[in-house]
Amino acid sequence: MKLRILHLDEETRRSLLKELLKRSPNHYGKYEQSVNEILNEVNLRGDEAVFEYTKKFDKAVIDASNVRVTPKEIEEAYRLIDDSFIEVIRRALHNIRSYHEKQRQTSWFDSRMDGTILGQKVTPLQSVGVYVPGGKAAYPSSVLMNIVPAKVAGVEKIIMTTPPEEDGKVTPTTLVAANEAGADMIYKAGGAQAVGALAYGTQSIPKVDKIVGPGNIYVALAKRAVYGHVSIDAIAGPSEILVIADETANPRFVAADLLSQAEHDELASAILVTTSQKLAEEVSREAEKFTSRLSRSEIIRKSLDNYGYILVADTMEEAIETANEIASEHLEIQTADPYDVMTKIRNAGAIFIGEYSSEPLGDYFAGPNHVLPTNGTAKFFSPLSVDDFVKKSSIISYSREALLRHHKDIEYFAEAEQLTAHANSIRVRFEET
């Protein structure tokens, strides 16, 4: 099957945006009842419910004696992984840490001669839960991306949960990545029950202040349901890539990059917006050649059949406008002047500039976070960062002299809102004694 090629016009754009929105977790209401039942049971019964669901869904026998990963299990994980891969993890970790260290913010104070002190106090969150998928869907890169910014922010306790395999063990690469990144505690729990444990706390798994990390639809809906009990990063949707390219682009590079996201799952979207009909046809042919020999070809074909598109635009301005409307998780720019195009991009999770900046570079190694907004939310959300693991408090301090200059204005404002106790709170400080 070749990628479908469509001429880009207003009708095509509207239809595509409507189609892409069907992938949002907001449209998976049929799972909500099951998720809510699991969360309620965990809230009521704690460990007992978590262990029951672990046996039911993961086929693993877990109890209070083995739910927490031990140092011995971590040591065993190191023995099961090639030393060369451990070194790759460490090099990636260095890049990720270096990038996120530049995002640190410090508290600030502005002291004036009139006795006014204003400022902002930046405080790391006390505890964070990191959810990590397990089994066949083991992504040590996501472990690094979620733990490192929390560590750089100064979070006191980083608690990771991940589903065990049937033998009660955790995927070795996941354990090694977590240990290298600096997780403080690791627990064998997955799915909505793990989210519930982190949100409410159980006899074995402590409650946290915020939950981050990717997962399946049950995990996504569980995170949405517990929001308010704890904070969350975002509700992640299926992966997506959009490539803006002109006639100068290499069709093999473009096709390979589109497929790098299509292989994630059947709901992943892969879109090329180009000003060249020739490139469109060449990319479609190359994509078919690659797909026939890639290991996840069946998933790729279904993904492309569902959400794979090549859109041929009349002008580069139309291509850019479409990219901004779609607001893709990953945006690659492969044009004659990619930096000029980049300056016109308003909405994208991560922007990859030039033909050697392939999307997997960001997934694994470059340093910027690969936890990105999806389903058009790049219009108002940002990548996971150090900011997600701190909170800010306003600082206000007025001397009597400073307040004296402004108390009449404040009283006037309060009385205009008919909040006389507010006005009185200021007025009493200047009563004649």
C-beta separation of 115 from 406 below 8 A: no
Encoded tokens for 429: 């400080």
DSSP letter at 135 equals T
Count helices and strands in the chain by DSSP H and E runs:
18, 14
Q: For 283-335, what is the HEC assignment? A: HHHHHHHHHHHCCCHHHHHHHHHHHEEEEECCCHHHHHHHHHHHCCCEEEEEC
Instruction: Please tell me which residue in 100, 264, 330, 370 is annotated as part of the active site.
Output: 330
Q: List, in sequence order, every residue forming a beta bridge with 240; answer none if it has no partner.
A: 269
* Rounded Cα distance, 253 and 268, in Å: 19
- The per-residue b/e assignment along 292-311, b for 16 or more CB within 10 angstroms, e otherwise, is eebeeeebbbbbbebbbbbb
Residues 6 or more apart whose Cβ sits within 8 Å of residue 111: 117
Instruction: Please tell me which residue in 41, 240, 329, 359 is annotated as part of the active site.
Output: 329
Other C-beta atoms lying within 10 Å of the C-beta of residue 30: 8
Other C-beta atoms lying within 10 Å of the C-beta of residue 248: 13
Q: 420-427 vs 407-416: helix axis angle to the nearest 10?
A: 170
The verdict on whether 264 is a catalytic residue reads no
The verdict on whether 329 is a catalytic residue reads yes
Look at phi and psi of residue 385 and say left if phi exceeds 0, alpha if psi is from -120 to 50, else beta: beta
Q: Which residues are catalytic?
A: 329-330
